[in-house]
């Protein structure tokens, strides 16, 4: 008679991840730990023994979204643990949702994992305990072909509109060899694009005095330029060079040193620099770091060294005290700067931020009107820049492949080097070959453009 050993059912955890890419990285790390402890992931509410909601508490609108997500998880499943930035406001969460099982704050991996153990104890048994320990790269909420690489946590600045330093503490940089090891594993596991993130990427290593660690056979400093150079040497199992994109870079003078790496092809020619404003008086009131630099001159110099560089930034309109002249200064600056990608936000007070105490709030109607004007200018600039790409050939990474249409033609969506996932534009492709895969690098002939996206066909197809 055949006897079979019944495996104990693995406990399943559901995850709702809200907020920025940094929160997504936290979610990935929490799930990696839980997997190592023998938990399985549930793709839906119904199959989960417990649901984790990783919240964002940055703006009031994000808090509302977080509370709504907690409410949905409670009504769909009932057993909910809350973590993330809004976890620091346990009272507000309990007031809205008293049934929540546990609440932990941002970056408290151990406490979240403990709470899951307490409320859904892991199944024990020889088979479950033999589950191999996954590497940090194993659980990814981002598609397999791109990965966020978090190099530090926290921030040493005190921008008036921001509560990140209160939520996440002072800058704490990771060891450079640990970052490089994680990047290497990710690339070995199929990542074709690394997105370097932190609160302040150009400050990487300042807190640990840019300490050196051995990587392969040579010392490497915990410094943005050294890290970028090493990341640029990685190779995929197929021998390709992954794209490496730097996010949240402040224009400190040493940023100039990474531009030649882009010209050499070691780094993706893309910089995400959150300028937030241009008028000196507004920047002073915002208490922005590195705002004294002559940014327009430096942008020009960067473009001379690396003509393909794409610069993305975000701006806030309607900051307290912003006059019509300040705003016009910003518009003129944008015309001059000719940025490739721009996100604009209407100022919104954040509970606990110093900016809330500033005089002269800008009326909502004025904020709206300024927002519309800034969008009009930046869309016009973007459309003109993209129109110049029509007729050129550009490298593109494939994100998604569609189903064949009635004629058997397959379309696909990709991104150029000027497009970071989720925040920038796309490249829409027609008639792609049937064997095209997500994460493939292709060369595209650009046929058309609009204000944000490009349209084209893969070279030779
Ligand atoms: S640099 Fe300013 S906006 Fe960015 S995290 Fe630090 S305090 Fe916040």
Residue pointed to by tokens 């090493």 = 230
Identify the pLDDT of residue 328. 97
How far is it, in rounded angstroms, from Cα 274 to Cα 250? 7
Ligand 1: nearest atom to the Cα of 248: 4
223: closest CA among 209, 233, 234?
Answer: 209
**Nearest-atom index, ligand 1, CA of 168:** 5
Q: For ligand 1, pick from 19, 173, 199 the residue to mutate: most ligand atoms within 8 Å of CB.
A: 199
CA distance 349 to 320: 10
Distances (CA, A) of 338 to 60, 310, 426: 32, 10, 19
What's the pLDDT tens digit per position in 252-308? 888 999 999 999 999 999 999 999 999 999 999 999 876 655 889 999 999 999 999
Output phi, psi for 79, to 5 deg: -110, 100
Is 306 annotated as contributing to ligand binding? no
Q: Measured from the CB, is residue 274 less than 6 Å from ligand 1?
A: no
Q: What's the rounded Cα separation, in Å, for the pair 20 and 199?
A: 11
Specify the residue for token string 């932990």: 104
CB 162 less than 6 A from any atom of ligand 1: yes
SS3 89: coil
> Are the beta carbons of 204 and 222 closer than 8 angstroms?
yes
- Rounded-to-integer distance, Cα 114 and Cα 194, Å: 30
b (16+ CB within 10 A) / e for 7-25: eeebbbbbbbbbbbbbbbb
The model carries a pTM of 0.77
* Domain ranges, ordered by start, for the chain: 12-129, 146-387, 393-458
Contact 213, 162 (CB under 8 A): no
The residue among 359, 288, 362 whose CA lies nearest residue 322 is 362
The reply to whether ligand 1 has any atom less than 6 angstroms from the CB of 159 is yes
> What is the distance in A from the centroid of ligand 1 to the CA of 21?
15
pLDDT in tens, 279-291: 999 999 999 876 6
| 152 alpha carbon – ligand 1 mean position (Å) | 13
Q: Where are the beta strands (DSSP E) in 198-301?
A: 212-215, 218-221, 243-246, 270-272
The minimum-distance atom of ligand 1 relative to the CA of 163 is 8
From the CB of 199, is ligand 1 less than 6 Å away? yes
The CATH superfamily of 146-387 is tm_1862 like domain (3.80.30.20)
283 touches ligand 1 (CB under 6 Å): no
Q: Is the pLDDT reported for residue 458 higher than 90? A: yes
pLDDT at residue 124 in the model: 52
CB 247 within 8 A of CB 420: yes
CATH assignment of 393-458, given 3.40.1350.10, 2.40.50.140, 1.20.140.10, 3.30.70.270?
2.40.50.140
Asked if 432 and 410 touch (Cβ cutoff 8 Å), the reply is yes
112-166 per-position pLDDT tens digit: 888 898 888 876 543 333 333 334 445 677 787 999 999 998 899 989 998 888 8
| pLDDT value at 21 more than 60 | yes
* Structural contact between residues 204 and 151, judged by C-beta atoms closer than 8 angstroms: yes
**Any atom of ligand 1 within 6 Å of the Cβ of 276:** no
Provide φ and ψ at 416, rounded to 5°: -85, 180
Cα 199 to ligand 1 centre (Å): 6
Which ligand 1 atom sits closest to the C-alpha of 165?
Answer: 7
Q: Is 56 annotated as a binding residue?
A: yes
CATH 3.40.50.12160 assigned to 12-129: yes
Out of 159, 274, 350, give the residue to mutate to test ligand 1, the one with the largest number of ligand atoms within 8 Å of its CB. 159
Q: Is residue 314 classed as helix, strand or coil in its secondary structure?
A: strand
From first CA to last CA, the distance across the chain in angstroms is: 59
Q: pLDDT, tens digit, for every residue of 62-115? A: 888 889 999 999 988 999 999 988 888 888 899 999 999 999 887 777 788 888
CB 46 within 8 A of CB 77: yes
- Please tell me the predicted confidence (pLDDT) of residue 11: 86
CA atoms of 269 and 271, how far apart (whole Å): 7
- CB of 291 closer than 6 angstroms to any ligand 1 atom: no
**If you measure from the C-alpha of residue 40 to the centroid of ligand 1, how many angstroms do you get, rounded to a whole number?**
36
Cα 223 to ligand 1 centroid, rounded to whole Å: 19
CA of 289 to the centre of ligand 1 (A): 8
């Amino acid at each position: 008679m055949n006897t079979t050993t019944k495996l104990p059912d693995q406990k399943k955890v559901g995850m709702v991840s809200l907020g920025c890419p940094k929160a997504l990285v936290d979610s990935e790390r929490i799930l990696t730990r839980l997997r190592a402890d023998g938990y399985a992931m549930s793709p839906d509410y119904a199959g989960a023994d417990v649901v984790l909601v990783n919240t964002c508490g940055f703006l009031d609108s994000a808090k509302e979204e977080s509370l709504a997500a907690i409410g949905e998880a409670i009504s769909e499943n009932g057993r909910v643990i809350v973590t993330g930035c809004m976890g620091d406001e346990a009272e507000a969460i309990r007031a809205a949702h008293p049934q929540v099982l546990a609440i932990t704050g941002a970056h408290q991996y151990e406490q979240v994992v403990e709470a899951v153990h307490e409320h859904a104890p892991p199944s024990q048994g020889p088979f479950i305990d033999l589950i191999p320990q996954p590497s940090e790269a194993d659980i990814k909420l981002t598609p397999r072909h791109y990965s966020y690489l978090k190099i530090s946590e926290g921030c040493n600045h005190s921008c008036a509109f921001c509560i990140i330093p209160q939520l996440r503490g002072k800058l704490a940089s990771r060891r450079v060899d640990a970052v490089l090891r994680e990047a290497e594993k990710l690339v070995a596991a199929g990542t074709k694009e690394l997105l370097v993130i932190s609160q302040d990427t150009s400050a990487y290593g300042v807190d640990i005095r840019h300490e050196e660690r051995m990587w392969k056979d040579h010392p490497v400093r915990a410094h943005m330029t050294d890290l970028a150079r090493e990341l640029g040497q990685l190779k995929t199992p197929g021998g390709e060079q992954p794209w490496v994109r730097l996010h949240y870079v402040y224009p400190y003078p040493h940023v100039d040193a990474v531009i030649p790496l882009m010209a050499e092809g070691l780094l993706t020619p893309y910089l995400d620099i959150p300028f937030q404003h241009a008028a000196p008086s507004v920047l002073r009131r915002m208490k922005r770091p590195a705002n004294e630099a002559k940014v327009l001159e430096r942008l020009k110099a960067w473009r001379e060294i690396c003509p393909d560089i794409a610069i993305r930034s975000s701006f806030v309109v309607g900051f307290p005290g912003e006059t019509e002249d300040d705003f016009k200064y910003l518009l003129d600056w944008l015309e001059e700067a000719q940025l490739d990608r721009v996100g604009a936000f209407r100022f919104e007070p954040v509970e606990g931020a110093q900016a809330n105490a500033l005089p002269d709030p800008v009326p909502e109607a004025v904020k709206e009107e300024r927002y519309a004007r800034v969008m009009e200018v930046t869309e016009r600039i973007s459309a003109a820049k993209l129109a110049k790409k029509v007729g050129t050939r550009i490298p593109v990474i494939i994100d998604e492949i569609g189903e064949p249409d009635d004629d058997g033609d397959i379309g696909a969506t990709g991104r150029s080097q000027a497009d970071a996932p989720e925040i920038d534009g796309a490249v829409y492709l027609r008639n792609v070959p049937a064997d095209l895969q997500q994460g493939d690098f292709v060369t595209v002939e650009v046929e058309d453009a609009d204000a944000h996206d490009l349209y084209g066909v893969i070279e030779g197809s």
